[in-house]
Amino acid sequence: ATPTSAQSAALPAALLAFAAGVTLLQWWPELPAVRPLLLASAATALAAAMVARTTVWAAPSRLAAALFVVAVFVAGFAYAAWRAETRIAEHLAPEWEGEDIAVVGVIDELPQVSARGTRFALAVERSETAGAVLPPRLSLAWYTQRQKAGSVDAVPEIVAGERWRLVVRLKRPHGTVNPHGFDVEAWLLENGFGATGYVRADARNQRLDAFAARPQDYVQRAREHVRARIVAALSDAPYAGVIVALAIGEQRAIPETQWQVFNRTGISHLISISGLHVTAFAALAGYLAWALARRSVRLTTRIPARRIAAAVGVVAATGYVLLA
């Protein structure tokens, strides 16, 4: 093999090596120190560069490619360790567990409404309790309150993108891990939640802005609009939650009984939006654009129909990924 072919083969191998390094950390019993890993990766990459510059014969070229792949593998392992270390460092300090804290933040994703109340994510902007240091993101529940007279204080309507002042009581992320069960702590870490908790009944709880106008808030509002339209059209349909999940990636409306059916039949992976769904949607949009563009001679003399179809497919895929 020539040096060029060896280098070409090293590129896809390096991508796989980086992914393998990230995956390996998920099985590691404890987080390793990041700095020695970075130094090892840099030293291996330097060795690969030195070997590649010494000669152009095939064997040293292969050795350089192998060293480069090893360096990328270690870099992937170090990157995953750094990301995990950063997320864990954002966890709520133990001394603030169980304390009432006033916080201002933005509703960061679609709220999930149930008979017991509303669950939502809050992107923290600031704490209004002196000395309280909060994680950037909180997983909160706002429960309905039953009064002694038997009446129920309903939770106010919460919409993604709103800015609220809330008094909350928090705890550090933790959860049980049972064989073949759902790993709550891993899910909280994956989604960047540094604490969980609930909203206290307090007069300071107040909606400050109807729309915070962050870039991601426009996407969340669009997702909420799509979900509301689907639920309104399919309010009595048993699989309305599945349609919502396939449209915007919101799976929490799917009942547990349906998840059991999906798991037993081996089709649960089809409910999660993947590259297959995005590709199919983009291909359909591109085909429709191509079919319509061919009907216009004036348009296709300026822009080929295939180019129009490709552009529409890219836009459709991007939009679908944002909604999901």
What pTM, to 2 d.p., does this model score? Answer: 0.79
Angle among Cα 59, 61, 65 to the nearest 5 degrees reads 120
Local confidence band at 162 (pLDDT 50, 70, 90 cut-offs)? very high
- Residues 77 and 25: beta-carbon distance below 8 Å: yes
In this structure, are strands 117-127 and 112-113 parallel, antiparallel, or unpaired?
Answer: antiparallel
The answer, yes or no, to whether residue 224 has pLDDT greater than 70, is yes
Where does the pLDDT of residue 148 fall: very low under 50, low under 70, confident under 90, or very high at 90 and above? low
Percent of residues, the chain, with pLDDT higher than 70: 93
What pLDDT does 211 receive? Answer: 96
User: Is 304 a residue whose pLDDT tops 90?
Assistant: yes
What number is the average pLDDT over the span 226-232? 92
Quick one: pLDDT at residue 236? 84
Is 292 a residue whose pLDDT tops 80? yes
Whether residue 4 is predicted with pLDDT greater than 80 in this model: the reply is no
* Of the candidate ranges 20-29, 198-207, 265-274, the one whose mean pLDDT is the lowest: 265-274
Angle value at C-alpha 120, between 118 and 123, nearest 5 degrees: 150
The tens digit of pLDDT for each residue in 235-266 reads: 888 899 999 999 999 888 888 899 889 989 99
| C-alpha–C-alpha distance, residues 64 and 55, integer Å | 11
Q: Is the pLDDT of residue 179 over 90?
A: no
Residue 161 has pLDDT above 80, yes or no: yes
Average pLDDT over residues 34-59: 83
Q: Report pLDDT for 2.
A: 46
Complete DSSP assignment for 249-273 = ---TTS-HHHHHHHHHHT-GGGTS-
CB 119 within 8 A of CB 138: no
- For residue 1, the model assigns a pLDDT of 44
Stretch 33-39: mean pLDDT: 95
pLDDT of 116 strictly over 50: yes
Tens digit of pLDDT for each residue in 279-289?
999 999 999 99
Is residue 5 over pLDDT 80?
A: no
Cα 114 to Cα 248: distance, rounded to the nearest angstrom: 19
pLDDT score, position 206: 96
Task: Report residue 60's pLDDT band, with 50, 70 and 90 as the boundaries.
Answer: low
pLDDT of res. 55: 57
